[in-house]
A and B are shown apart, each in its own frame.
Chain A
Amino acid sequence: MMSAYLDFIRIRFLTMLAYRVNYYSGIIIYAINIGAYYFLWKAIFGSAETLQGFTLAQMTTYIAVSWMARAFYFNNLDREIANDIRDGSIAMQLIRPYSYLFVKMMQGLGEGLFRLILFMGPGLVIVCLLFPVKLPKDPAVWIIYFIMLMFSLFINSQLNILTGLAAFFVENNEGMMRMKRVLVDLFSGVLIPIAFFPGWLKSTMEWLPFQAITYLPSAVFTGRTPMSEAWGVLGLQALWFFILLVPIMFTWRAARKRLFVQGG
């Protein structure tokens, strides 16, 4: 049974590979965005040595690695699920002998694998050539960063699945999906590291899963979070992964009872 699921990873990877040309311009777009924020942060630092525990060199690395991480964990599972629900093909999915959500997660993994090898990897090389990015020297940092990156993908995919499943309950969840995207970009720390938020917002964010998507791994990568605390941070990510399984399970259970396919 497991091999069937693994096949979903393979198939999605190959499908993405067929459209890889679309992602070449993606690398340039991400480089353009990293450039914009690089110059902005340079001006924000001005003559200051450090801001909120970040040096300018760390901040540059933070921006570069956070955007490239976004290139990796980003996917459209929410839209795929919503489309399946709206056009009724979810009915066909449900009668097949596999778990629909697990398949979606596997497809997310396949897409992530593609994005890691053909988008984030080459993107990071190009960005390192363009901007003064300082990569960590300690191999332990790299190892823990990759584990954390996996959890970024899991947690982001979980939030996408939850948003997609909302299509069971509301007629049009387009707005919800767009808002989720803004929330994730803003509060995951791609644009602004959580440490820069004003006190009340920062403490709110510490109780929400968004920071586990970008801020926590990037802070470890840049060295702002020392290695001694890194395992604790990884634990926090893992905790969020398990916590988020609960609402998905309940939504899924409630959704299947509600399902009513019109025609199709």
Chain B
Amino acid sequence: MLYAVLFWEYIKNYAKTRLTYRADFWVEVLSDMMFQGMNLIFILVVFQHTPSLGGWSESEVVFVYGFFMIPYGIFSTFFGMWNFSERYIVKGEMDRILTRPAHNLFQVLLENVDPPSLIGSVVGAVIMAVCWNDLGLAFHWYYVLIMLLFVLGAVLVYAGIYTALSAISFFSDAPTGIVPLIYNVQNYGRYPVNIYNKTIRFVLTWLLPFAFVGVIPASYFLEKKADDLSQLAWFTPVMGIVVFALGLALWNHGVKRYRGAGS
């Protein structure tokens, strides 16, 4: 209950600061959209020259991309701690966090909350709906519940990975450059994983499970393929819980070790 009240207070504060600079807000939304649009344009352009991408049709690949945008938007809204090392460890704001009773990760996340990213999720849902119609897929009412479950699992996969990466700053105060590295690996998960070789496929499925954010859960709703990825779809929530638990464990361990950077 305390957390719900805190959440509401943080959001109110956020709204007050953002409404001061309204133009910036829209510029940010627009440039976010352009970035996502670039990837979509890539897909649309290449499908002018090929009927299928590793056995997936244009609408299917766009469908997967639309699905990917939903958890990604939610993740960016609540887990945008890109500057964690810089702001909280190097500048020492973590000390302030630790003097308060609410869980430290919860505070850090809410201080960096970014609701405009949710617009990406909405756009993703619209893209998915359009492709759903194009592909003439069946729709049952319980799909909505399955979708929610998969989206939640996918968000947790992302959240777990980036919480773990942020926790690394507790152990090394020098910038490791690993976050931008993983950020670029994550792009692999937006496309059907069967176009990659076995090693990359294995990494994307079990080690850095970015495939569970896009192609695997999305394939549950699509026609079955030869290698039937959709068998793995039900693992999405399991994977989410496991990855997030690991990330949180590493974070809590890191906080215990935290002694401040001396600033």
A and B co-occur in one complex: yes
A-to-B contact residues, CB < 8 Å: 22, 24-25, 28-29, 32-33, 35-36, 39-40, 42-46, 48, 51-52, 171-172, 174-175, 178-179, 182, 185-186, 191-192, 196-198
Contact between A182 and B48, CB atoms less than 8 A apart: no
Contact between B177 and A43, CB atoms less than 8 A apart: no
Contact between A32 and B185, CB atoms less than 8 A apart: yes
Contact between A178 and B31, CB atoms less than 8 A apart: yes
Contact between B191 and A192, CB atoms less than 8 A apart: no
Give how many A-B residue pairs fall within 8 Å (CB-CB).
Answer: 81
Contact between A46 and B50, CB atoms less than 8 A apart: yes
Contact between B191 and A178, CB atoms less than 8 A apart: no
Contact between B34 and A182, CB atoms less than 8 A apart: yes
Of A28, A33, A186, which contacts B41 at CB under 8 A? A186
Count of B interface residues, CB-CB < 8 Å:
35
Contact between A172 and B27, CB atoms less than 8 A apart: yes
Residue of B nearest to A193 (CB): B45
Of B38, B46, B185, which contacts A185 at CB under 8 A? B38
How far, in Å, is A8 (CB) from chain B's closest CB? 27
Interface segment out of the listed B12-20, B78-86, B144-152, B193-201: B193-201
Residue of A nearest to B46 (CB): A44
Of A33, A175, A196, which contacts B46 at CB under 8 A? A196
How far, in Å, is B215 (CB) from chain A's closest CB? 13
B142 CB within 8 Å of chain A? no
Of B31, B53, B175, B200, which contacts A43 at CB under 8 A? B53
Of B23, B34, B49, B184, which contacts A172 at CB under 8 A? B23
Where chain B touches its partner, the secondary structure class is helix
Interface residues of B in 52-94 (CB under 8 A from A): 52-54
Residue of B nearest to A29 (CB): B184
Contact between A46 and B52, CB atoms less than 8 A apart: yes
A contact residues around B46 at 8 Å (CB): 40, 44, 192, 196
Task: Indicate with 1 or 0, residue by residue over B148-167, a CB within 8 angstroms of chain A CB atoms.
Answer: 00000000000000000000
Contact between A28 and B38, CB atoms less than 8 A apart: no
Contact between A25 and B177, CB atoms less than 8 A apart: yes
Interface residues of B in 1-53 (CB under 8 A from A): 23-24, 27-28, 30-31, 34-35, 37-38, 41-42, 45-46, 48-50, 52-53
How far, in Å, is A59 (CB) from chain B's closest CB? 11
